[in-house]
Amino acid sequence: AQSVTQPDIHITVSEGASLELRCNYSYGATPYLFWYVQSPGQGLQLLLKYFSGDTLVQGIKGFEAEFKRSQSSFNLRKPSVHWSDAAEYFCAVGPTGGGNKLTFGTGTQLKVEL
């Protein structure tokens, strides 16, 4: 069965600092991987996704993520955080060949200090 672990429940960074949110997955084959962001009171918005090819994926809002098969990781990064990035971030894994039945991590709450 597929699973996702986001080991950090809360992270606080200063505005302008770099950010890395961790995501580890468990899946028998090459998975489809996603990062979503949820602002307070809002739905989930897709930041980026990895299906195949280049292991460094660029997303919206200046985010990127790197797929590392050897580490079963798909960490999300941003070189310089803005106060508006404060939100909850979810990593998700889906089966190769289709996005049905995504499995979500428990989320990482990001706080940005001004």
Partner 1 sequence: DAGVIQSPRHEVTEMGQEVTLRCKPISGHNSLFWYRQTMMRGLELLIYFNNNVPIDDSGMPEDRFSAKMPNASFSTLKIQPSEPRDSAVYFCASSRSGSKQETQYFGPGTRLLVL
> Applying CB under 8 A, which residues contact partner 1?
32, 34, 36, 41-46, 49, 51, 90, 94, 97-102, 104-107
Place of tokens 């709450």: 109
Decide whether 37 or 112 has the Cβ nearer to partner 1: 37
CB of 44 to partner 1, least distance (A): 4
Q: What share of the chain is helix, strand, coil (3-state, %, to 5)?
A: 10, 50, 40
CB of 79 to partner 1, least distance (A): 25
Q: Which of 7, 4, 10 is nearest to 105 (CA)?
A: 4
CA–CA gap between residue 81 and residue 94 (Å, rounded): 28
CB of 84 to partner 1, least distance (A): 18
Which token pair is 89? 């971030």
Decide whether 73 or 104 has the Cβ nearer to partner 1: 104
Place of tokens 């460094």: 56
Decide whether 81 or 94 has the Cβ nearer to partner 1: 94
CB of 80 to partner 1, least distance (A): 27
